[in-house]
């Protein structure tokens, strides 16, 4: 993706009109005339706190994390929200981590964002932040690609904040801040799968998404067939409907192609697209690993971190 381009979506304009029910929100412009105008118009919803940076009274237990570009925050959390209802973010001195199974227990997602890749990171101890993705979804569509996003965690008040700034950050004056409760989530401890795969293919993200999208028009499942000299992605529907896309191992769509033997497995195309479509906006390639009737593993690296997605096979 060209750096200067913004992956704008049609829903953004519509989303500005969406309700953010259940979310405390505040908006301000740090100039005298505009601040008075917002104040008179009730720019902050009833119950919003005043004072401090951005109108929030910060305690000594307040921690800041600044994402340099809004697009990474938006699309990573959109992919998570498509799969999960709620989850714990584990935030410590090293970075942001998440490891969660979806409600149907057929997929696992593992997120890792090192603190070193973020613009500001003041976390010095381990924090566990339980979040509801139903609430997060209402905020994500308001984040534009070049804006900056700050995640603030106030452990003393058991709340976290998402603040959207212009690309100038705090110096730009304008911000929109959303306050949400930290919820208690009793998640089972999920060990990271320790699987060795005979198939490892890194390919162009746009091509991969296009192939899956085409497959979804024919069936709700997609079959991956990897041989040492080719990769086929097949979807077969009712009434003899079918689509097959095959690439030779030397095709330019591949950045890496390593296959030992022949391997065949089938997965839900809907869940694949729920995860991969948002990640297409910030990832240029996807690494595909699988084996006969074993979970599919997708790995996507983006500017500030990486995400892994495991999906259980459909066994006839």
| pLDDT tens per residue across span 5-25 | 444 443 433 444 444 555 666
The yes-or-no verdict on residue 296 having pLDDT over 50 is yes
Kindly provide the b/e burial profile for residues 247-261, where b requires at least 16 CB atoms within 10 angstroms of the residue's own CB.
beeeeebbeebebee
The yes-or-no verdict on residue 40 having pLDDT over 90 is no
Compute the distance between CA of residue 257 and CA of residue 259 in angstroms, rounded to an integer. Answer: 7
The yes-or-no verdict on residue 47 having pLDDT over 50 is no
Domains and CATH numbers, the chain: 12-94+115-181 (3.10.150.10), 199-311 (3.10.150.10)
Q: In what order do the strands lie in the sheet with 148-154?
A: 24-28, 175-181, 159-165, 148-154, 62-67, 120-121
Percent of the chain with pLDDT over 90: 70
Look at residue 22 in the predicted model and tell me its pLDDT. Answer: 56
Both structure tokens of 295: 């979970």
37-41, 199-203, 304-308, 312-316: least confidently modelled range: 37-41
Look at residue 315 in the predicted model and tell me its pLDDT. Answer: 82
**What is the tens place of the pLDDT at every residue in 236-254?**
998 899 999 999 999 999 9
**What is the tens place of the pLDDT at every residue in 126-169?**
999 999 999 899 899 899 999 999 999 999 999 999 999 998 88
- Over residues 27-47, the mean pLDDT reads 34
26-35, 109-118, 204-213: least confidently modelled range: 26-35
Compute the distance between CA of residue 266 and CA of residue 272 in angstroms, rounded to an integer. Answer: 11
Of 294, 207, 281, nearest to 251 (Cα)? 207
42-51, 151-160, 208-217: least confidently modelled range: 42-51
- Over residues 273-296, the mean pLDDT reads 97
Q: What is the DSSP letter of 252?
A: T
Residue 19 and residue 45 in contact, taking contact as beta carbons nearer than 8 Å:
no
Look at residue 67 in the predicted model and tell me its pLDDT. Answer: 96
Average pLDDT, the chain: 85
Compute the distance between CA of residue 304 and CA of residue 114 in angstroms, rounded to an integer. Answer: 7
Confidence of residue 171 (pLDDT cuts 50, 70, 90): confident
> pTM of the full predicted structure?
0.83
Which of residues 119 and 40 earns the better pLDDT score? 119
Query: Phi and psi for 126 in degrees, rounded to 5?
Result: -75, 130
The yes-or-no verdict on residue 97 having pLDDT over 60 is yes
Residue that the structure tokens 């690494």 belong to: 287
Compute the distance between CA of residue 316 and CA of residue 71 in angstroms, rounded to an integer. Answer: 39
- CA 270 centroid distance within chain: 16
In 10 A of CB 187, how many CB atoms? 13
State the alpha helices, DSSP H only, in the chain. Answer: 11-15, 32-41, 70-83, 133-140, 205-216, 269-279
Residue that the structure tokens 């994500």 belong to: 140
Compute the distance between CA of residue 155 and CA of residue 129 in angstroms, rounded to an integer. Answer: 9
Confidence of residue 52 (pLDDT cuts 50, 70, 90): very low
Both structure tokens of 154: 């106030």
Look at residue 193 in the predicted model and tell me its pLDDT. Answer: 87
Taking the CA atoms of 309, 262, 314 and 204 in sequence, report the sign of the dihedral they define. positive
The yes-or-no verdict on residue 230 having pLDDT over 60 is yes
Residue 285 and residue 299 in contact, taking contact as beta carbons nearer than 8 Å:
no
């Amino acid at each position: 993706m060209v750096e200067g381009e913004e992956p704008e979506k049609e829903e953004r304009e519509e989303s500005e009109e969406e309700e953010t029910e259940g979310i405390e929100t505040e908006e301000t412009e740090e100039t005298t005339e505009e601040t008075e105008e917002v104040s008179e118009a009730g720019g902050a919803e009833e119950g919003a706190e005043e004072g401090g940076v951005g109108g929030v009274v910060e305690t000594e237990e307040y921690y800041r994390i600044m994402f340099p570009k809004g697009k990474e925050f938006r699309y990573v959390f959109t992919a998570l929200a498509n799969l999960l209802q709620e989850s714990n973010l584990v935030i410590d001195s090293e970075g942001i981590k998440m490891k969660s199974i979806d409600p149907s227990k057929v997929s696992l997602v593992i997120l890792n964002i090192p603190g070193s890749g973020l613009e500001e990171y003041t976390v010095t101890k381990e924090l566990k932040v339980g979040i509801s993705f139903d609430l997060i979804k209402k905020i994500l569509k308001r984040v534009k690609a070049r804006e900056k996003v700050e995640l603030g965690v106030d452990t003393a008040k058991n709340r976290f904040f998402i603040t959207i700034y212009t690309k100038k950050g705090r110096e730009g004056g304008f911000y929109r801040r959303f306050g949400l409760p930290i919820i208690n989530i009793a998640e089972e401890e999920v060990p990271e799968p320790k699987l060795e795969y005979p198939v490892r293919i890194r390919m162009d993200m746009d091509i991969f998404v296009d192939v899956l999208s085409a497959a979804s028009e024919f069936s709700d499942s997609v079959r991956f067939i990897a041989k040492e000299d080719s990769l086929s992605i097949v979807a077969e529907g009712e009434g003899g409907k079918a689509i097959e896309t095959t690439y030779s191992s030397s095709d330019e769509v591949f950045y890496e192609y390593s296959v030992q033997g022949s391997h065949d497995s089938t997965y839900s195309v809907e869940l694949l697209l729920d995860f991969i479509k948002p990640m297409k906006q910030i990832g240029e390639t996807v690494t595909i690993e699988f084996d006969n009737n074993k979970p599919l593993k997708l790995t996507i690296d983006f500017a500030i971190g990486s995400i892994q997605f495991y999906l259980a096979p459909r066994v006839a």
